[in-house]
Amino acid sequence: MVMTMPKVVVIGGGPSGICAAFYAKQQNPDADVVVIRREPGFIVPCAIPYAFGLLSPEKIISKSPDNLVTSVGVKLVIDEVVEIDASSKVVKTAKGEKFPYDKLILATGSVPVMPPIPGSDLENVFPTPKSLDALSNVVKAVEKAKNVVIIGGGFAGVEIAAEVSRRGKKVSIVEMLPHCLQLAFDEEFCEKGEEHLKNHGINVYTGVKAERFVGDGAVKEVELSNGEKIPADVVIVAVGVRPNTKLATDMGLELGPFKAIKVDEHMRTSNPDVFAAGDCCEKISFITKKPSNLRLASIGAREGKVAGINAAGGDVTFPGVIGVFSTEFLGFGMGAAGFTEKAAKEEGIDVVVGNAVGFDKHPSTMPGTMQMHVKLIFRREDMKLIGGQVCGGLTAGEIANMLGFMIYKGATAEDLANMQYGTQPMLTPPPISYLVCRAAENALSEA
């Protein structure tokens, strides 16, 4: 009898693909694990906005993910998959290579959405770049520009706008919803974020659409749905992404309601030998168990872990997406976990809300102190935490992670009000006003 090593092929080498490969190998060190990625280097996806300001494009390439997987014996192939033969279980690449698989993991990510705005074909109108070449191109165009307009005020749009403004450009954001960042935060948080942008000289146009891009060869201005015209030497469209499902549909995999690859809680697709993880696949909410449209690198990493372990013979499940976000622009940090108040109400959940406002350091004379606001959303029936938001300084991301864990563990308002914490002038709010506790106390007094 000949022993054969199980072959696991991962298509895509972003956060979800890398995690899938790493954990597959960890689950079964004998497995033959291959990652096939189009891009030569690992682009840190969330760092793309910083390539417009604090960093240069080549500085957002990270070697550590590739080292992580190759150090445990994963084979990393730079090539593009053009076809998957599901019956003979073989992956074919642009360079003509063939990779047979026992189990396949699709981690093909997402592609930027380009809305059909007239003038989109003008020079210097760009989608959010996702490859290093594309990114370098856009950054070069921005360097020559005086006026830059960002279409879309989500995380990517706001962060790109902030970073471009660091280079002394006149920057405008155009968001068709009433507020920037509205999918992740309640209105009062969005307003604080917008205020910070405006205080730093960024024009924020909300509740208005980009009607057309106007120019002669190259773009010159953006015409808004209210008739206003904004000068624009460069336009970057950052209105979101859609799942990259071409290979999946070509091989006949089912899609879910959000047009992403349908998976079960094992991250298994409609083909039992094929798994999917990350932006390309469908998600369900941890709280409501309904389909969710969240796409985050951190979620992809977690899903990749589950897909990788299961593809290599393990048996673990993904409990659904809590949705922990964070963003930073020009020193302002914002984080959120779980439901916003608005989203909870839309789901018909009866909620009790608690708020606390204070400072992220203490006393407030400490250099760099920022006003901080914590908002917590509890389900009235059991006073369990189902959502939280925080804005202020650069600890907002880790506070959001703490809130995410609290949601995951079913923590109640009592738990949060009585939690023990440490305080330090440079690192936290003051002992008598630790804001997570104070917001929980506020909710208890409203319940």
CB of 92: closest distance to a copy of itself in angstroms? 27
* Cβ nearer to a copy of itself, comparing 251 with 336: 336
Residues in 178-217 at the binding interface with a copy of itself, rule: CB under 8 A = none
The first and second tokens of residue 178, run together, are 């009433």
Q: Is 180 noted as a catalytic residue in this protein?
A: no
> Considering only 170-178, 201-209, 215-223, 364-372, which stretch makes contact with a copy of itself by CB under 8 A?
364-372
Q: Does 156 bind a copy of itself (CB under 8 A)?
A: no
Chain centre distance of CA 20: 18
6, 55, 192, 355: which one binds a copy of itself (CB under 8 A): 55
29, 40, 64, 250: which one binds a copy of itself (CB under 8 A): 64
Angle at which helices 435-446 and 396-408 cross, to 10°: 50
> Considering only 120-128, 172-180, 318-326, 370-378, which stretch makes contact with a copy of itself by CB under 8 A?
318-326
Q: d(Cα 436, Cα 440) in Å, to the nearest integer? A: 6
Q: Does 46 bind a copy of itself (CB under 8 A)?
A: yes
Tell me how crowded residue 363 is: count the other CB atoms within 10 A of its CB.
Answer: 9
Q: d(Cα 33, Cα 3) in Å, to the nearest integer? A: 16
Per-residue contact track with a copy of itself, 282 to 311, x per CB under 8 A?
Answer: ----x---------xxxxxxx---------
Residues in 223-282 at the binding interface with a copy of itself, rule: CB under 8 A = none
Q: Which of 19, 46, 190, 437 is catalytic?
A: 46
Q: Does 366 bind a copy of itself (CB under 8 A)?
A: yes
Q: Does 425 bind a copy of itself (CB under 8 A)?
A: yes
* Cβ nearer to a copy of itself, comparing 235 with 311: 311
Residues in 21-40 at the binding interface with a copy of itself, rule: CB under 8 A = 22
Q: Does 421 bind a copy of itself (CB under 8 A)?
A: yes
* Cβ nearer to a copy of itself, comparing 22 with 99: 22
Q: d(Cα 150, Cα 248) in Å, to the nearest integer? A: 31
Sign, CA dihedral 51-54-56-59, equals: negative
The per-residue DSSP string of 287-335 comes to TT-SEE----HHHHHHHHHHHHHHHTT-------B--EEEEEETTEEEE
Contact assessment for residue 219 and residue 355, using Cβ atoms and an 8 Å cutoff: no
Q: d(Cα 37, Cα 430) in Å, to the nearest integer? A: 47
Nearest to 139 by CA among 231, 214, 60: 60
CB of 410: closest distance to a copy of itself in angstroms? 9
381, 432, 446, 447: which one binds a copy of itself (CB under 8 A): 432
> Considering only 32-40, 70-78, 92-100, 360-368, which stretch makes contact with a copy of itself by CB under 8 A?
360-368
Q: Does 88 bind a copy of itself (CB under 8 A)?
A: no
6, 38, 62, 270: which one binds a copy of itself (CB under 8 A): 62
Q: d(Cα 294, Cα 283) in Å, to the nearest integer? A: 7
Q: Does 339 bind a copy of itself (CB under 8 A)?
A: no
Write the burial class of residue 418 (CB in 10 Å: 0-12 exposed, 13-18 middle, 19+ buried): exposed
Nearest to 369 by CA among 442, 438, 430: 430
Residues involved in catalysis: 46
